[in-house]
Amino acid sequence: MGIQDLFQNIIDMNWELFPKQLAMWVIGGVLIFLAIKKKMEPTLLLPMGFGAILMNIPNNSGAAGVSEILETLYKAGIANELFPLILFIGIGAMIDFGPILSNPKLMIFGAAAQFGIFMTLSLASLFFDLPEAASIAIIGAADGPTSIVVAGELAPHLLGPITVAAYSYMALVPVVQPPVIKAITSKKERRIRMEYKPGSVSKFARIMFPIIVTVIVGLVAPGAVALIGFLMFGNLIRECGVLDSLSETAQKVLANLVTLFLGITVAFTMKAEAFINWGTILILGLGLFAFIFDTFGGVMIAKFMNLFLPEGKKINPMIGAAGISAFPMSARIVNKIGLEEDNQNFLLVHSIGANVSGQVASVIAGGLILSFFA
């Protein structure tokens, strides 16, 4: 045994691949920086960033190598979509659907704000097969678990860049949405005030809503049953009123535990040779396109509705932009822009409703995509 045995790993490295692995270390570092310093989706970006570094340390495979361990976790929770679906139970338990139950027409904005998904599907179909294009397009759902489930089913080899894009753009919504909103609305439209009539929602409605939504969505898009079912199961636990401890467990312990595993396991797909290429750059670009056209779709439907509404009853088009599923950031951004234009125009009560509806609509979109291509 000689001194060189201590550095055998460095001697045996694939030096052609090392620059790409180094680039992945930088990318991992950037994700960690964004998570800690900028507080951008830290629950996912930090584990993904660290996992990207782990997976790209040369010659890391072996009997108990990190590749094998992450592969075990990947097969246990990502390849079979278990982790994102369980996470959806926690997310469902966190969501209060009261705003859309008291004002159901806000759901139309959630539906319209999924426009970016299908626009991106068309654009991506120029360069990728349709299932791959659909997986990339689902970035526009602005929903991590939905993106992971759809990409895992249709194009698992693209899971890494798709997940990075989805979570990064969700965190970048405060940067992406305002310029788009201001570009397609006039100052007069942004200053529209909307009347708020608070309505009570019965407990019966709160309990029946998750059941009815699951059945309706499941009948139309069977591919969405798992997604919508787990989301609404979590919500039913919350709303039934007799499972407070389970609801609290789902919201906190379960969601945190699964998120912990999900983030680092997704990094299994971030090997340098698969991640560092023009395809990843293209996917990131298409993801941005999806978010831009989600915003566009939501605003446009509001402007379309305003053509038929009388003065005094018009909708502030920015509410449509809140239909994207990035909750609650998108709602807060719309409220903030509204206050910038008119410091007495509080849009949060309306934008929260649209934002919540986006959660449901994004799952419906994911289910339809699975129904079309799986």
Please check whether residue 158 is in contact with residue 131, taking contact to mean a CB–CB distance below 8 angstroms.
Answer: no
Counting contacts by CB under 8 A, is residue 361 touching another protein? yes
Counting contacts by CB under 8 A, is residue 108 touching another protein? yes
Nearest to 206 by CA among 163, 165, 247, 236: 236
To the nearest whole angstrom, how small is the minimum distance from the Cβ of residue 331 to another protein? Answer: 18
CA angle 98, 318, 100 (to 5 degrees): 15
Please report where in the chains the tokens 């636990």 appear, as a residue: 237
Among 163-171, 247-255, 301-309, 348-356, the segment contacting another protein (CB under 8 A): 301-309
To the nearest whole angstrom, how small is the minimum distance from the Cβ of residue 223 to another protein? Answer: 11
What part of residues 184-203 is at the interface with another protein (CB under 8 A)? 199-203
Element (H, E) at 60: none
What part of residues 247-286 is at the interface with another protein (CB under 8 A)? 269, 271, 273-274, 277-280, 282-283
Nearest to 87 by CA among 265, 258, 263: 258
Among 102-110, 189-197, 258-266, 333-341, the segment contacting another protein (CB under 8 A): 102-110
- Rounded Cα gap, residues 159 and 267, in angstroms: 9
The Cα-based distances of 74 to 70, 81, 87 in angstroms read: 6, 9, 15
Q: Exactly one of 28, 131, 223, 234 binds another protein (CB under 8 A); which one?
A: 131
- Rounded Cα gap, residues 143 and 323, in angstroms: 12
Which residues are CB-neighbours of 125 under 8 A, at least 6 positions away? 133
Nearer to another protein, 78 or 85 (CB): 78
What part of residues 147-186 is at the interface with another protein (CB under 8 A)? 153-158, 161
Counting contacts by CB under 8 A, is residue 301 touching another protein? yes
To the nearest whole angstrom, how small is the minimum distance from the Cβ of residue 203 to another protein? Answer: 5
Other C-beta atoms closer than 10 Å to the C-beta of 1 total: 5
Nearer to another protein, 255 or 289 (CB): 289
Element (H, E) at 138: none
To the nearest whole angstrom, how small is the minimum distance from the Cβ of residue 247 to another protein? Answer: 17
Encoded one letter per residue, x for contact with another protein by CB under 8 A and - for no contact, window 305-344 reads x--xx-----------------------------------
Encoded one letter per residue, x for contact with another protein by CB under 8 A and - for no contact, window 200-229 reads xxxxxxxxxx--xx--xx--xx--------
To the nearest whole angstrom, how small is the minimum distance from the Cβ of residue 258 to another protein? Answer: 19
Size of the site for another protein (CB under 8 A): 83
Query: For residue 42, is it left (φ>0), alpha (ψ between -120 and 50) or beta?
Result: alpha
Compute the radius of gyration of the chain from its Cα atoms.
22
- Rounded Cα gap, residues 373 and 291, in angstroms: 22
Nearer to another protein, 280 or 330 (CB): 280
